Amino acid sequence: MKKIAIRLDTGPSIGLGHLMRCLSLAERLTEDHQASVSFLCRNRLPQEISYEVQYLKQGGIASAEGYQVSGIEDEVEEMKQVLQECHMDCLIVDHYGAGDEYFKALRDWVSCLVCIDDGMGRRIPADIVVNGNLYGTKADYGSVPIQLLGGTYILLRKEFQAFPTRCIRSRLQKVYLTSGGADPLNFCQRILQAAEQQLPKLQFHVIVGADFELDYIKTLEMYPVTLHQNANMRECMLDADLFVTGGGSTLYELAITGTPSISYILAEDQLHVAWEIWKEGCSLPGGRFSAFDEQEFTEKIQSMGAVQARTKMSQKAQETVCGDGTINVAEQIKAFLGGKKGGRK
């Protein structure tokens, strides 16, 4: 049995997308019982994680305020020890703080070194690089042997793989808001403020992230809104007529389910994802949330009231995003570990 380690961190200051896509990949890697997966982290993962987790000492465990993205080169020696003592065959790194020197230092300590990246290219000394974003095909990774780039390799959760054609309801009624695991910009509250006076006939719902502060949740409860804690995102997307969301990986899940959306850039690392989704017509552009305008938001909502607009967006989204990306990536990694090395895809 091959032993695979996944290096990531997650918390209030880092989107949950890293954890969710790695959990999905881990499930596919272990489904035939030919591999085991362990997670290597600096901070605590949710208790419901069923995989083995080893917490690294370097940098300490995240405080209540959340883990801050930073360089992780200080943990290299500890990582070498963990990889050696646990006899790891493969290391998968999904971490913005891992520079090329980090990969170079660990290159000879595993048979297969994998980088999950969201950038536009770099010279990573790895065996496999995965960039499943729609813009991934434009990224330049030089001589990395196996490059899994573009929508064919989007890492999505199992429940968002291979989804049937969406049927759009004629009436716009249920509008869901999501900002991810946390809401440091008060995105949901700002949207509810704008809607309270201008859009009284719509039913608003908020996906409460795992790292929402209790006081913030109480503030949201003051509005005419339904809050969803521990939400099933797939069910919420199917229930919604429209989502208002940040521009991160949630956009891919919305596209797979054919859920119409208006999306805003809440953080710089969402820029490329949002831009490609907007360009393909899979979501209505909201722009940077720092420039949010209530009147413009109201007009965008009203424009999505037409069933033809939502149907067109839904169909385009489902045509654009591939639901088999996680399966494709897992097969490539397993083939490499089995000695069947692929090529650039």
Residue 167 lies in a domain: no
282 with 137, same domain: the answer is no
Confidence of residue 61 (pLDDT cuts 50, 70, 90): very low
Q: Per-residue pLDDT averaged across 172-199, rounded?
A: 94
- What mean pLDDT is reported for the chain? 90
In terms of C-beta distances under 8 Å and separation of at least 24 residues, what long-range contacts does 237-242 make, across chains too?
237/176, 239/174, 239/176, 240/174, 240/175, 240/176, 240/205, 241/168, 241/169, 241/171, 241/172, 241/173, 241/174, 241/175, 241/310, 242/172, 242/174, 242/175, 242/176, 242/301, 242/304, 242/310
Residue 166 lies in a domain: no
82 with 178, same domain: the answer is no
Name the β-bridge partners of 324: none
State the CATH number of the domain containing residue 300. 3.40.50.2000
235 with 142, same domain: the answer is no
151 with 219, same domain: the answer is no
State the CATH number of the domain containing residue 133. 3.40.50.11190
Question: What is the reported pTM?
Answer: 0.82
243 with 295, same domain: the answer is yes
Residue 257 lies in a domain: yes
Q: Per-residue pLDDT averaged across 76-84, rounded?
A: 94
Question: Structure tokens of 10?
Answer: 């997650």
Q: What percent of the chain has pLDDT over 90?
A: 72
284 with 328, same domain: the answer is no
Q: Per-residue pLDDT averaged across 304-325, rounded?
A: 94
Residue 296 lies in a domain: yes
Residue 212 lies in a domain: yes
185 with 262, same domain: the answer is yes
Confidence of residue 181 (pLDDT cuts 50, 70, 90): confident
Q: How many residues does the chain have?
A: 345
Range of the domain at 315: 174-320
CB 216 within 8 A of CB 183: yes
For the chain, the distance separating the N- and C-terminal CA atoms, rounded to the nearest angstrom, is: 26
CB 205 within 8 A of CB 228: yes
Residue 40 lies in a domain: yes
202 with 130, same domain: the answer is no
Report CA dihedral (214, 219, 221, 223) to the nearest 10 degrees.
Answer: -160
237 with 327, same domain: the answer is no
For tokens 């990949």, name the residue: 25
248 with 269, same domain: the answer is yes
86 with 135, same domain: the answer is yes
Domain count along the chain: 2
- In the chain the beta strands, taken as DSSP E runs, fall at 2-7, 35-41, 52-55, 90-93, 112-116, 128-131, 146-149, 174-178, 203-208, 225-229, 242-246, 261-265, 284-288
* Distance between CA atoms of residues 112 and 89, nearest Å: 6
Q: What is the DSSP letter of 68?
A: P
222 with 285, same domain: the answer is yes
CB 79 within 8 A of CB 103: no
For tokens 């209540």, name the residue: 64
